[in-house]
Structure formats: C-alpha cells, structure tokens
Amino acid sequence: MADPQERGKAPAGRGEAPRRRRAHTTSRDLERYANLFARRTQAMRSSAMRDLMAITARPEVISLAGGLPDTSTFPSDSFAAQMTRIAHESSAEALQYGPTEGFEETKACILEVMAAEDMAPDPDDLIVTTGGQQAIDLIAKTLVNPGDPVIAEAPTYPGAVATLCSYEADVHQVSTDDDGMQIDELEELLAGLATTGRRPKFIYSVPSFQNPAGVTLSGERRRRLVELAREHEVLIVEDNPYGLLRYEGDPEPTLYSLDGGDYVLYLGTFSKILSPGIRIGWVAAPPPVLEKIGLGKQAADLCTSTLSQYFVREYFGEGRWRGYIADLVEIYRARRDAMLDALDRHFPEQSAWIRPEGGLFLWATLPDYIDTTDLLAKALRENVAFVPGRAAYLDGRGGASMRLNFSGSDEEAVREGIRRIGQVVSEQVALYETITGEHRAAPPPEDDQPGGDVVPIPRRR
C-alpha cells in the first residue's frame, strides 16, 4: 500500500485523484467572489454555537455552550434493533425519496407528541421538516421581505437570529423577565408600529423554557399574547422544542391550543426528546400559509429524510417514547440542580441567574463591566465554553450575560465547568475592584432596576 505521504503525488488512477491543497486566500480571490454575493449575505450572521462547536469538540473542553441533548442516554441496542428491522423489512422504501409534506405515519407520531401537550391539529395542517430550524427558515422565507418588521423576545434563540438576519428582517426585540416576554412592552411596540402603518409579519416566541433565557411565559401572558395577535391580526410563531422537558411546576397551555391554530404557527421537533441527528421537526400552520411553506420546502430539499422518518415510525411503534422522556427528565433535572448548586458555590455574589423549571438552559448575568465575549476567550483557555449573551440579541445587548447548557454534560462535568467559569469571573471581578477600588454589591432586586434590558433575574441569595 502506498505511503500516505506519497499518495498525493501518485498519478491520478481510480480513486487516487491527487488531493488539491488550498493556498491561502488572497485579496484577489476575495474580490473575485465578493462581487458575486447576493445583498442578503451582508446581513447573514454566523451562529455563535456553530462557531464554537469546532473548539468544543476537543475532548478536554467541557462545553456548556451547545444545546445538545445527551444522546448517549438513548439505548443503543434498541437503536440497532430498529434500524435492523428497517433494513430487513423496508429497505427499498426507506432508501427512497418521500413526499414533501412527510409521511402520514410520521405525522401520526407527531400527533401523539402534540396530544401530550393538549393539541390536536388536523394532519393536513402539518408539514414534516428537516429539524425545527428548517421550519423557522421556511416561515421566514414565506413571510419576510427585506425590511419587514418581525418581533422576537430579548434575548431570543440565536439560531433564529441567524435566520431572520439572512432574510433581512427588521427585528424588534421585546424584553423578558421571570415570566417570559413582557406583554405590556409588546403592546406598546405593536401600537407604535401601527402608527407608522407597519404590521409585523410575526411574533417569534419560545414560550416554554426558553432558549436561551430558560424562562417560561406565564399563563396570563400567554392568553394576553394570543388576544393581542387577534386584535392586531399578527401571526405568532410558537417554537416549542422543550415543552415536554419539565422538571417541576405545572404545564402552561401552548399558544397553539389557546388560539386553535388561526394566528399561531406551531413548530415542534424530535431533536430534544429523541435525537437531533435524525433532523426531524414539523410545522403546523393554517392551510394558505402551509401551502406556501410546502412550496418553499420543495425548493429547499424536496423532502425530509425518509430513513429518519422510518426510524421515528419504528421508535414510536415500540410505544416507549413517553418512558424515554421521563428518563431524560430525571437525568436533566439532576444536571440542572448540579449547575444551580455549583453556581451558588463558585460564582461571585455580583452575579445572578434564573432557576429554569425545564428545558436545557440557564441564563446568568454578571456585573455590567464584564463582557462575556471577552470572558469566553479566557474561559476557553481553561477548557470550558459557554455562549456569550450577545448571540441572543440583534442590537448588541446581552454583553454581560451568558447561556449555560446543563443537558450535554454529566453532573461532575457540569460542576467542574461552572467551577472553571466561576474562577475566571472571580478574577475579573477582583481585577475590577483592584483597579477601581470599588466593591460593588449584588444588583438590586428586579423592581428597583431601571429599564428592562436583559432578563432582570437576580433574587438569588
């Protein structure tokens, strides 16, 4: 066998094409391509988590940055049995294209999941998508012209920031507190936009265990939000990947169930309750909107992976999906508690965070003289990562906040990760106090805080 070093030099035979090494990009190269880019690429933003993934994949790094469910909890023997059954019984079909809107059998599984949160859409109102992320993209593709107003929470899901930017939406972010989006502020915003004749295309919300803030929209606010959508004839996009991952407290009704599906477009996904690797999500929408979304999907990818849909069908056929979610809830609750405990031990008193009742994330806010984007570089030197708060805003806010994920690492790693971040934060606090001679007390309770910038969470000690 040829020495690997030599292989590139061998004459190109079958399977032996010499690998072309890319030289450094020159300014001439940049110019050549730059003139070709569409205008919308100027507004495109990279997702902070995607950028971090390459670094956090290193085994020595404890990543509290990703939104990763712990897929090692899925029993590998049952995965093997399901895939073997597919190979033996439906190989040709599973390897084939499928309908753009998804298979009826996949929709039947989706209906089971939605029923668990008291929703019962008509299967014809559903399209199976390549993850929830594609559903966000297709909705934006269907509804948003450059410059159109769209409303989102502050902070909002960083993956939605990337999508909304690429469609050149004019995003207005509404502050959030412990009870989710502040509806009074939303009402003012809607009224303000109406006076200038601008009608937002939709209000994007993650009402349960929000990514990134971890907060949940209260029942009262949910009702008010749905009423406002009707009054102003504005669509709501309810993105609900985490609703079934509740560790304490009582569930709130989904916006979709409160509205009945007239103004609320509902997004779901199997990513957090089964596997993100299978890339299956869905959207439920009123028929005229769904039809356009379907056309958008045809152009995007023809259909969602048939093989993945067959896997979902097999998995649900075994009837243990509820049991698996119950297992995840136990595991993630323990990890959340480990993180809360470690924060108490290792973060300086000037910091604050929320106690999420479910989901995968916790949002922490540090003294305003700390910039978490700078802090991340220091944290990475200690082999630990988080998502800097700015990734969740379009207007530069969130500089002193961070998103911490507790589902992707075991309890020991979660504790160690927080210890390392706490150490870096404490060093910054000590440095600040040395330079300024100042000792800042913990932030005042929520009611005394001026303005609603980021999630004004404190109340921890």
Ligand X SMILES: Cc1ncc(COP(=O)(O)O)c(C=O)c1O
Q: What's the min distance (Å) between Cβ of 206 and ligand X?
A: 4
Of 100 and 130, the one with the shorter C-beta distance to ligand X is 130
Establish if 321 lies at the interface with ligand X (CB under 6 A): no
State which of positions 301-320 bind ligand X (CB under 6 A): none
Chain position whose Cβ is nearest to ligand X: 131
d(CA 461, CA 459): 6
Show the site string, 143-182: x = touches ligand X by CB under 6 A, - = not: --------------x-x-----------------------
Q: Are 454 and 372 in contact (CB under 8 A)?
A: no
At residue 30, the 3 state secondary structure works out as helix
Among 271, 275, 306, 407, binds ligand X (CB under 6 A): 271
* Closest residue by Cα to residue 202 from 152, 168, 145: 152
Q: Are 310 and 128 in contact (CB under 8 A)?
A: no
Among 117, 239, 252, 314, binds ligand X (CB under 6 A): 239
Q: Are 360 and 272 in contact (CB under 8 A)?
A: yes
Count Cα atoms within 13 angstroms, Cβ side, for 192: 10
Q: Are 326 and 101 in contact (CB under 8 A)?
A: no
List, in sequence order, the alpha helices (H) in 150-286: 158-166, 183-195, 219-232, 255-259
* CA 229 to each of CA 40, 136, 235, 350, 409: distance values in angstroms, whole numbers, following the listed order: 29, 19, 6, 38, 39
d(CA 378, CA 267): 36
Q: What's the min distance (Å) between Cβ of 248 and ligand X?
A: 20
Q: What's the min distance (Å) between Cβ of 92 and ligand X?
A: 28
d(CA 151, CA 145): 14
The number of helices, as runs of H, and strands, as runs of E, in the chain is 15, 14
Of 275 and 428, the one with the shorter C-beta distance to ligand X is 275
Q: What's the min distance (Å) between Cβ of 150 and ligand X?
A: 15
Of 131 and 456, the one with the shorter C-beta distance to ligand X is 131
Q: Are 426 and 348 in contact (CB under 8 A)?
A: yes
Q: What's the min distance (Å) between Cβ of 155 and ligand X?
A: 11
Among 94, 151, 206, 328, binds ligand X (CB under 6 A): 206
Count of residues engaged in binding ligand X, rule: CB under 6 A: 14
Q: What's the min distance (Å) between Cβ of 158 and ligand X?
A: 9
Establish if 398 lies at the interface with ligand X (CB under 6 A): no
Q: Cis before residue 212, ω within 30 degrees of 0?
A: yes
Of 180 and 276, the one with the shorter C-beta distance to ligand X is 276
Q: What's the min distance (Å) between Cβ of 429 and ligand X?
A: 30
Establish if 132 lies at the interface with ligand X (CB under 6 A): yes
Of 276 and 422, the one with the shorter C-beta distance to ligand X is 276
d(CA 181, CA 215): 9
* Closest residue by Cα to residue 243 from 256, 261, 229: 256
Find the part of the chain contacting ligand X (CB under 6 A) among 19-27, 125-133, 161-169, 307-315: 125-133
Among 48, 61, 67, 204, binds ligand X (CB under 6 A): 67
Find the part of the chain contacting ligand X (CB under 6 A) among 127-135, 287-295, 322-330, 338-346: 127-135
Q: What's the min distance (Å) between Cβ of 276 and ligand X?
A: 4
At residue 189, the 3 state secondary structure works out as helix
- Please report, as ranges, the residues that interact with ligand X according to CB under 6 A: 67, 131-133, 157, 159, 206, 211, 239, 241, 269, 271, 276, 281
